[in-house]
Amino acid sequence: MTRTFRAPGRVNLIGEHTDYNQGLVLPMALDLATFVESAPNSAPSLKVHSEHYRESREWQLKTIPRLEPAGDWGDYVAGVARELLRAGYRLEPRSLSIRSTVPEGAGLSSSAALEISCALALALDQPVPPLELAQIGQRAEVEFVGLPCGIMDQYVSVFGREGSALVIDCRNLERKYVTLPSEVSILAVNSMVKHSLSQSAYRQRTEECADAARRLGVSSLRDVSPSAFEAAAVTLPEAPRKRARHVIEENGRVVRFAASTDPWELGSLLVESHRSLQRLYEVSCEELDFLVDTAVEIEGVFGARVTGGGFGGCTINLIRAGCEAGFSETIECAYQARFGVSPRIYRCRAAAGAGEITTS
């Protein structure tokens, strides 16, 4: 029997580069998603076809515990299969077919959508507790693909809820659903840029944060209050000091964002977050700064910032409902005139988390 599973991408509204510091994040799942059809396979193997890449992979089931990463899209699937086995789940011979509406390299978390949809398509009727499902996806990425990411993307892909964003406390892994004021819309603008240094820079940022925490005598930056940080900041070298300041202040912005219903306050928190990612965390780039600087001058825009890991991908823009068309036209023309590239624009609606969508 063929069954189909869906897992969404996400935008992060605020709380960037805080998840691997046990901090707070505030993402929402999107109606852009990855779909995996899972069919029985007569051979004792796992077959996978990617519609996007028009490529297939096949692994004998018994070799999965010993697989090595190949450095391509198949690693996400193989990594999830390996983590399911490690966690004590069984793998049946299956044939998976993957298609996705989440753009790749846009900072909308196509990788978590792939991991979670594949994990469901492989676990089938074995119930995996939702938090464990998210952790299996994260471990596949950290331990097999090799990117030391936090839990945000996989968590929101599992726990997303239609009409709501969620505050995730990445220390105790608890969540609280929040809704945005009805007069605002969120648009993501894709810079169409993906800088090759994003993975190495991401790893470097995680190391700089760990270094700052060590120097401050705590196990993670979550344990440093703003006043304790101010008192100790002078003792830190420049890089860990700037990274730590961003993380500590960003956690505070998530709390203020979650507590506010004033669109102007929400918007100015987004801009503050962007400036901090630009100047302190240094994960922005010329194209993203241009998109934010341009957006905030457009009528009906409350605020904007980069979303996701940075070094390209999307900005998110908090806009007065009804102003979407004018905003899109203006930003598209400006970006085209400046960089000769047309940005793709996505209307972001909060969608439900992952699950099975059909049984035939």
Active site includes 293? no
Residue 30's closest CA among 196, 166, 228, 184?
166
Give the nearest distance from C-beta 170 to ligand GLA in angstroms: 9
17 binds ligand GLA (CB under 6 A): yes
Residue 149, interface with ligand GLA (CB under 6 A)?
A: yes
Nearer to ligand GLA, 3 or 243 (CB): 243
Residue-wise over 294-312: b if at least 16 C-beta within 10 A, else e? bbbebebbbbbbbbbbbbb
Q: Are 48 and 77 in contact (CB under 8 A)?
A: yes
Catalytic residue among 19, 31, 125, 153: 153
Q: Does 16 bind ligand GLA (CB under 6 A)?
A: yes
Burial bucket for residue 324 (CB in 10 Å: 0-12, 13-18, 19+) = middle
Nearer to ligand GLA, 150 or 263 (CB): 150
Q: Contact between 19 and ligand GLA (CB under 6 A)?
A: yes
- The whole-angstrom separation of Cα 256 and Cα 265 is 9
State the nearest-atom distance from the C-beta of 135 to ligand GLA, in Å: 13
**Closest approach of ligand GLA to the CB of residue 153, in Å:** 5
Q: Which is nearer to ligand GLA, 160 or 309 (CB)?
A: 309
Of 323, 256, 261, 335, the C-alpha closest to 294 is 335
- CA distances to 141, 197, 344, 348, 359 from 32, rounded to whole Å, are 20, 26, 14, 9, 21
C-alpha 329/C-alpha 272 separation (Å) is: 25
Please identify, using beta-carbon distances, which residue of 38 and 313 lies nearer to ligand GLA: 313
Stretch that binds ligand GLA, among 85-93, 150-158, 288-296, 328-336 (CB under 6 A): 150-158
Stretch that binds ligand GLA, among 35-43, 98-106, 145-153, 179-187 (CB under 6 A): 145-153
Strands 184-194 and 312-320: antiparallel
Contact between 134 and ligand GLA by CB under 6 A: the answer reads no
User: Which residue lies nearer to ligand GLA by CB, 39 or 147?
Assistant: 147
Minimum CB separation from ligand GLA for residue 41, in Å?
Answer: 31
The single residue among 308, 312, 343, 353 that binds ligand GLA, judged by CB under 6 A, is 308
Question: Interface with ligand GLA by CB under 6 A: which range of 95-103, 146-154, 238-246, 315-323?
Answer: 146-154
Tell me: does residue 153 bind ligand GLA (CB under 6 A).
yes
- Torsion of the alpha carbons at 92, 111, 199 and 289, rounded to the nearest 10: 180
Contact 20, 155 (CB under 8 A): no
Interacting residue with ligand GLA among 81, 152, 213, 285 (CB under 6 A): 152
Pairing mode of beta strands 94-100, 24-40: antiparallel
Is 309 a residue that touches ligand GLA (CB under 6 A)?
yes
Residue 75 in contact with ligand GLA, rule: CB under 6 A: no
Beta bridge partners of 164: 161
Binds ligand GLA by CB under 6 A, chosen from 5, 11, 20, 323: 20
Pairing of strands 94-100, 45-50: parallel
CB of 45 to ligand GLA, least distance (A): 30
Compare residues 20 and 346 and give the one whose CB is closer to ligand GLA. 20
- Burial of 253: CB neighbours in 10 Å, binned 0-12, 13-18, 19+: buried
Tell me whether strands 165-169 and 344-348 are parallel, antiparallel or unpaired. Answer: unpaired
Which residue's CB is nearer to ligand GLA, number 16 or number 208? 16
| Residues contributing to the site for ligand GLA (CB under 6 A) | 12, 16-17, 19-20, 109, 149-150, 152-153, 308-309
Residues forming the active site: 153
